Amino acid sequence: MSNYLDGNAAAGALSELFAVDLTAAIAQCNGCGNTTVFAESRVYVDAPGTVARCAGCDTVLLRVVTTPTNTYLDLRGLTYLRVPNS
Ligand SMILES: [Zn+2]
């Protein structure tokens, strides 16, 4: 049994930072070039913070860690996020 959830599980943590819903954004993986809707990534919520991994190659796409005073956002595994204009 897998211990990850789909990308929608990161919606709460990301909504603290972004005014748009990033789970509907198109994301490109830096590791394998896989381009999918962010909601299709694998999200681990039992890590320190929230970790999203590529469903294709397991590269860490995104990490969000919230401390009592700050939120850290690591996007280095993403080539880009494409968000439709509203
Ligand atoms: Zn990948």
pLDDT score of 27 more than 80: yes
Domain boundaries of the chain, sorted by first residue: 5-82
Task: Give the C-alpha separation, 8 to 86, whole Å.
Answer: 20
Distance 20 CA to ligand 1 centre (A): 23
CA 31 vs CA 6, 48, 58, 66, 71: distances in Å: 19, 22, 8, 25, 25
Average pLDDT taken over every residue of the chain: 92
The per-residue pLDDT for 2 is: 80
Distance 85 CA to ligand 1 centre (A): 25
Distance 36 CA to ligand 1 centre (A): 10
pLDDT score of 76 more than 90: yes
Distance 32 CA to ligand 1 centre (A): 4
